Structure 1
Amino acid sequence: MENLINEVSKYLVERKRYVSYKVILLADVYLSLTSSLVSLFFIDSFIADLSWSAYATVLFAGGVTTFLVFWLSGTSKNIIRHASMKSMGRLCFAILLSDILLGGVLFLSGWCLFGHHLFAFCLLDFLVTTVVLSGFRVTLVLVYDYAISRDVSGKSRVLVYGSGDKSVALKKRMYTSKHYQVVGFVNPERYLKSCVISDLPVCYFEDEENFSRFVKKYNINALLYPSHEEARREADRLVRFCSDCGLKNLVTPPVDVLGDGLKKTIVREIRVEDLLGREEIKINTRECAENFAGKVVMVTGAAGSIGSELCRQLTILGVGHLILFDNAETPMHEFRMELERNFPGLKFSPFIGDVRQKERLRMAFEKYRPAVVFHAAAYKHVPLMEENPCEAVRVNVIGSRLVADFCVEYGVEMMVMISTDKAVNPTNVMGASKRLAEIYVQSLGLAMERGEVEGKTRFVTTRFGNVLGSNGSVIPYFRKQIEQGGPVTVTDPRITRYFMTIPEACRLVMEAAVMSAGNQIFVFDMGEPVKIVDLAERMIRLAGYIPGEDIKIKFIGLRPGEKLYEEVLSNEENTLPTGHAKIRVARVREYKRNDILKVYDKLAELALAVKVEDTVRLMKRVVPEFKSNNSEYERLDVK
């Protein structure tokens, strides 16, 4: 018997096979006829004498009507292990309809087989058949549940956070997991303590001592959150309790965001990005799709962190042809393979090129004739650009100028330029170079409005702060240092930064592009600033270590061009509101294109000749608010 149960478990759990609906249909008809036979015996024994012809007629007519009703109603097509009250109601209705038809056949047959007891037989048959078929399904579910419950070897015992619909749905999704066994729920409030949800107990923990005692007693291995929002809500309590007790903090996307080709429940350990993010930003997806669907869209810097995420989201919106423009060969190759794997129906073209190379850029525009261009190609690392200002100018300023000029020349409908919060009152070369790019793009758009330049392109600029987990950003850097045993290096204990996730930044970029009338610089609500030292401590704890003991934190001083505090992007003094609560329009000084053309030509000449000091001096003249900080170029500032 033990071996039989093990084989059933293996068949049901590992192979996840479903019994054919044809087999279930035949079983239902057989059990229905058996129930009719039982009803006949009861009528024959206690109410009236029945002839053999009555038995034969009922079994024949009952078999035909039951088969037809069950087949047409599709009751046998419901997967029994996932049966619901609604499916059970459909089954009862099918049984009732079958008995009504059988009663009608018997009444119209002209034979007085039951005399005045036809109604009693039909009612009894309905009741017996309902009990038998319902019991059949309940028995199968119990057998399946028993088989599943025996298959716990090697599984991690987890608690699911919350008691709402998302948490219960998550428990059901984890039911057949090979790696996790859900053993209970954790409610953030006391009022459901000692209750039972979906046959599992609900727990509540007063403090860390109470939590630690419980997980040791019941051998709990992890706490699973149904969404990032719930994890953030418990960042300073349950997440910390788990880290201190050596439990894993797990998270999985909720059911309503598991799309995009994902067919399995994804469970992974919580990262600091999950805890720093905010509530998901909503955008008008339909309006975005209407603006980009079916169009040729080019993304410069397509293999980078922002560019690649823009491509993924544009793909979901149904663009007609996606042009990937980037000069990084290996990242482009890897991204190409990702798109081929995840979006096999997507029409896209990788194009290796550099925005500094005019003829190569022209070839891309000439060949593909894009309708929309997202310009994400840029040099972004502050210390590197402080050491290489001429390259910052060539890529961020001259490259952006070339892209904008070609957009006008080739009749592009819209160009969206990705800028940065560091362009606001810049203290470093990188921020100043992005501000120079903004100035040129906006001046070109205004020149078209005034009729000084012929063209139809709408120019949109978007500014936002640091993106979580982007290439070369602080979080991957800290993670690597923690993996190596530390120390984690922080520039200054007071330094703060604003953070935004890559997906929400890209969603806001597309939303801003849709709402813009052109020649506007949009800034995003970056939320509350985060102290970098607090970020380091939280990452150390999430990795299972104690800050200052297992992993040291070392302060190394501000790097060239760095600020202690970034500018607030979206306050009421320097911005205007829009129809989206998270997006505002920056108030910036406007420049006339004809007044700056010679200056930009000179800037390109100096940068190409690698005349570093002259290049930086000219940048400061065009952007008077550019005041260097902790940099050798402070001596060039006008006192």
Structure 2
Amino acid sequence: MLRRRKLLLFLIDLSLTLTAGLAALFFRFGFDRFSIVKYLPPVIVGVAIYALSYLFNGIYRVVWAYADAKDMFRIARAVFLAYLVHVTTFYIYRGAVLPRSVGAMMALASLVLLIGSRLFWAWSRSREASKRGIPSQKSVMIIGAGEAGVMLLEEFQRRPELGKVVGFVDDSPRKIGRTVRGIPVYGPISSIMNLVEKYGVDEVIVAIPSATKDQMKRILSYIDTSRVRLRTLPALHEIIGTKPSIDLLRDVSIQDLLGREEVKIDSQSIAEYIRSKTVMVTGAGGSIGAELCRQIARFGPGHLILLGRGENSIFSIHEELLHDHPDLRMSRVIADVSNEERMREVFERYHPQIVFHAAAHKHVPLMEENPVEAFWVNARGTRIVADLCCEFDVERMILISTDKAVKPSSLMGLSKRLAEMYVRALAQERRCRCLFSIVRFGNVLGSRGSVIPRFARQIERGGPVTVTDPRMKRYFMSIPEAASLVLQAGAYASNGELYVLDMGELVSIEQIAREMIRLAGYTPDVDIKIVYTGMRPGEKLVEELFLSSEKIEPTDHSKIMKVVENEILPSKTVSDVIDKTIAIARSGDRKKITEFLKDYIPDIVELEE
């Protein structure tokens, strides 16, 4: 069916091109039939040349019902190339003559007829869709009269059952007061609520994929979400290679206000150490691990090993990658990083060349209740993976760490600090060829078990929203941003360097709760209450990214800093500390854990009973 439609379109184009040629002859010679017949053969040859040019330029690979300016340019390019070949052919070949005016008019008429036929087809399809669909009574206003906004307008016009666009809103003085595709452009954006009232708008759409989090905050400050629904297109880096579409629209979330920045990375340096390599990601089913897998897959690894303890999460990320990268070789490995025998089997079978160690327990209060598991997995598990990387000549190992390892007040933070210490010690001793590095960062937006999904569930239930302390602040970064910077830091790996990601400004947890309530269309403390529950065991009011003893140095990337620390213990000492800590943890005495580790982690914050 598809081939038949393409053939039909090809034949229509040939007939239009022939019509253009005959019209050119008529305009040049009028009713002089002798001259028309004389110069008809060069026109027929021209039709054949144009046909080949159409095929060569791929104009039959375009879905013309959804064509844009770039697709129309294909036709213009095809016609121009055909014209050049046509004229040149009869300049070189003297057996026949092609009047220059006929060649030029034929090209111009072909261009008009072919583009006109596409525009007519798109218009007729749109009109047909309008008749089929039941027009929606919903009025829509689009913020951003740029390319993305125009694409959304076109789709709304093709699918009237989804709503009617009554106007654009923009800050550009060049656009305000004018029309785009017959739709008026209003402004500035600060006047949006007046326009909502005036035109009875039901939904406002932000169609600015390039908007930063500060721009999104400014736009949101003008909109009362209790009076009008607000949706947005995803950020630019989320829709690379995808045309803006109604199907991509989603409600504005707290992620848009905290983590919408596009991270620029040196793709070449990352590709150099990942392309064609066997790459293993531990904790591949987790928030960071899964995103690392998504981004690693784009750099063409030879073999990607998805290792994790949870079978469902590994199955899920594998299915996603299989859909997006069907040719990528992958292996699913269900294993616990703290099971030394099983991990040795994995290394013996797959011989990974690059290891991203993201597997860890991260939930602070939960680890307070399970101290053995915290140290068994986070510290001992890291030691097992690092030792195997040495033993099996892995090229690079990148450990994912956390800001909770700095001045640790929780068992989870202490366990990750011991993991950092062991990797740095192993690297300093240069016992193997593996290049180790550590990447430390704060909270990521929307990760499983984090505060934002919890707030969302509480708001959905009608409240209350529980905040531990109004003074509590945290660093936040989007999951894609964090994963990108981890990959970039991996390119810098040299000798156990510890890299810290620039997390921006500290954000108030209470302010996040209030913004999320507003985004849901409610008023904080009126529609949904905020309740303060008190700090939980192991929590700090403010997390930190550096120790006072650590010296900070810049790297080639503005968002990645290198930490220099001279006081690094021998790996044997750290290994013994890990084992003794696990033994103490088995007794269930948290105070003894603190007292024992103080000699090795002097910045530790006393754990409260």
TM-score normalised to structure 2 length: 0.86
SS of aligned partner of 1:534: helix
The aligned counterpart of 1:471 is 448
State yes or no: 1:392 paired with 2:379.
no
The aligned counterpart of 1:56 is 37
Q: Give the distance between the partners of 1:170 and 1:261, measured in 2 at CA.
A: 10
The aligned counterpart of 1:619 is 597
The aligned counterpart of 1:318 is 300
The aligned counterpart of 2:123 is 145
| Cα distance, 1:134 vs structure 2 | 1.5
Change (3 A) 1:145 1:356: same
Amino acid at match of 2:568: E
The aligned counterpart of 1:299 is 281
Q: Give the distance between the partners of 2:468 and 2:294, measured in 1 at CA.
A: 34
1:578-633 Cα deviation digits (max 9, x unpaired): 2211111224332123444433332233345656553343233321211135x21x
Q: Give the distance between the partners of 2:199 and 2:461, measured in 1 at CA.
A: 33
1:423-462 equivalences in 2 (<5 Å): 423-448=405-430, 454-462=431-439
Q: Give the distance between the partners of 2:218 and 2:393, measured in 1 at CA.
A: 52
State yes or no: 1:512 paired with 2:515.
no
Amino acid at match of 1:201: P
Amino acid at match of 2:517: I
| Cα distance, 1:27 vs structure 2 | 2.0
Q: Give the distance between the partners of 1:142 and 1:215, measured in 2 at CA.
A: 37
SS of aligned partner of 2:188: coil
The aligned counterpart of 2:580 is 602
The aligned counterpart of 2:14 is 26
Q: Give the distance between the partners of 2:350 and 2:484, measured in 1 at CA.
A: 25
Q: Give the distance between the partners of 2:409 and 2:432, measured in 1 at CA.
A: 34
Correspondence for 1:577 among 544, 547, 554:
554
Contact 1:497–1:565 (CA under 8 A) maintained in structure 2: yes
TM-score normalised to structure 1 length: 0.82
1:60-139 equivalences in 2 (<5 Å): 61-74=41-54, 78=59, 82=68, 84=72, 87-88=75-76, 91=79, 94=82, 123=101, 127=105, 130-131=108-109, 134=112, 137-138=115-116
State yes or no: 1:201 paired with 2:184.
yes
Choose 419-428 or 234-243, whichever is displaced more.
Answer: 234-243
| Cα distance, 1:236 vs structure 2 | 3.5
Q: Give the distance between the partners of 1:297 and 1:211, measured in 2 at CA.
A: 51
Change (3 A) 1:536 1:616: same
Contact 2:363–2:412 (CA under 8 A) maintained in structure 1: yes
Q: Give the distance between the partners of 1:101 and 1:349, measured in 2 at CA.
A: 57
Correspondence for 1:486 among 445, 448, 463:
463
| Cα distance, 1:223 vs structure 2 | 1.4
Unmatched segments (≥5 aa) in structure 2: none
Amino acid at match of 1:56: V
Choose 540-549 or 220-229, whichever is displaced more.
Answer: 220-229
Q: Give the distance between the partners of 2:237 and 2:306, measured in 1 at CA.
A: 31
Contact 1:525–1:582 (CA under 8 A) maintained in structure 2: yes
Q: Give the distance between the partners of 1:443 and 1:592, measured in 2 at CA.
A: 5
Contact 1:525–1:569 (CA under 8 A) maintained in structure 2: no
| Cα distance, 1:272 vs structure 2 | 1.1
Choose 327-336 or 217-226, whichever is displaced more.
Answer: 217-226
Instruction: Please give the root-mean-square deviation of Cα atoms over the aligned residues, in Å.
Output: 3.6
Q: Give the distance between the partners of 2:49 and 2:519, measured in 1 at CA.
A: 58
SS of aligned partner of 1:57: helix
> Which of 1 and 2 has greater Rg?
1
Q: Give the distance between the partners of 2:590 and 2:150, measured in 1 at CA.
A: 62
State yes or no: 1:422 paired with 2:404.
yes
Change (3 A) 1:244 1:335: same
| Cα distance, 1:564 vs structure 2 | 1.2
Correspondence for 2:23 among 35, 39, 49:
35
Q: Give the distance between the partners of 1:569 and 1:582, measured in 2 at CA.
A: 15
The aligned counterpart of 2:339 is 357
Q: Give the distance between the partners of 2:558 and 2:485, measured in 1 at CA.
A: 11
1:255-274 equivalences in 2 (<5 Å): 257-259=239-241, 266-274=248-256
1:23-55 Cα deviation digits (max 9, x unpaired): 233322441254156437x634xxxxx4x5444
1:236-274 Cα deviation digits (max 9, x unpaired): 434651524322221135499524999997332222112
| Cα distance, 1:376 vs structure 2 | 0.9
Contact 2:148–2:244 (CA under 8 A) maintained in structure 1: no
Q: Give the distance between the partners of 1:573 and 1:621, measured in 2 at CA.
A: 18
State yes or no: 1:371 paired with 2:353.
yes
Q: Give the distance between the partners of 1:342 and 1:256, measured in 2 at CA.
A: 14
Change (3 A) 1:309 1:93: closer
Change (3 A) 1:256 1:428: closer
Choose 128-137 or 331-340, whichever is displaced more.
Answer: 128-137
1:108-129 Cα deviation digits (max 9, x unpaired): 669xxxxxxx96xx63785488
Amino acid at match of 1:141: L
Unmatched segments (≥5 aa) in structure 1: 1-16, 45-49, 111-117, 449-453, 633-639
1:118-172 Cα deviation digits (max 9, x unpaired): 96xx637854884586256436514633542562645665444334556556666
| Cα distance, 1:459 vs structure 2 | 1.5
The aligned counterpart of 2:290 is 308
Change (3 A) 1:57 1:572: farther
Choose 153-162 or 455-464, whichever is displaced more.
Answer: 153-162
Change (3 A) 1:176 1:226: farther
Change (3 A) 1:183 1:246: closer
The aligned counterpart of 1:592 is 570
Choose 249-258 or 354-363, whichever is displaced more.
Answer: 249-258
Change (3 A) 1:135 1:165: same
| Cα distance, 1:475 vs structure 2 | 0.9
| Cα distance, 1:330 vs structure 2 | 1.9
The aligned counterpart of 1:115 is none
Q: Give the distance between the partners of 2:404 and 2:480, measured in 1 at CA.
A: 20
Contact 1:158–1:180 (CA under 8 A) maintained in structure 2: yes
Contact 1:323–1:348 (CA under 8 A) maintained in structure 2: yes
Correspondence for 1:529 among 506, 510, 532:
506
SS of aligned partner of 1:235: helix
Change (3 A) 1:571 1:250: farther
SS of aligned partner of 1:336: helix
State yes or no: 1:563 paired with 2:550.
no
Change (3 A) 1:177 1:295: farther
Change (3 A) 1:355 1:278: same
| Cα distance, 1:99 vs structure 2 | 7.6
Change (3 A) 1:416 1:392: same
The aligned counterpart of 2:193 is 211
SS of aligned partner of 1:311: helix
Contact 1:31–1:133 (CA under 8 A) maintained in structure 2: no
Change (3 A) 1:614 1:284: same
Contact 1:547–1:553 (CA under 8 A) maintained in structure 2: yes
1:530-549 equivalences in 2 (<5 Å): 530-549=507-526
Correspondence for 1:409 among 391, 401, 423:
391
Change (3 A) 1:597 1:548: closer
SS of aligned partner of 2:168: strand
| Cα distance, 1:204 vs structure 2 | 0.6
Q: Give the distance between the partners of 1:125 and 1:442, measured in 2 at CA.
A: 74
Q: Give the distance between the partners of 1:600 and 1:167, measured in 2 at CA.
A: 56
Q: Give the distance between the partners of 2:269 and 2:215, measured in 1 at CA.
A: 31
1:281-313 Cα deviation digits (max 9, x unpaired): 211111101101111111111111111111111
1:459-511 Cα deviation digits (max 9, x unpaired): 11110000001010111111111111111111111211110011111111111
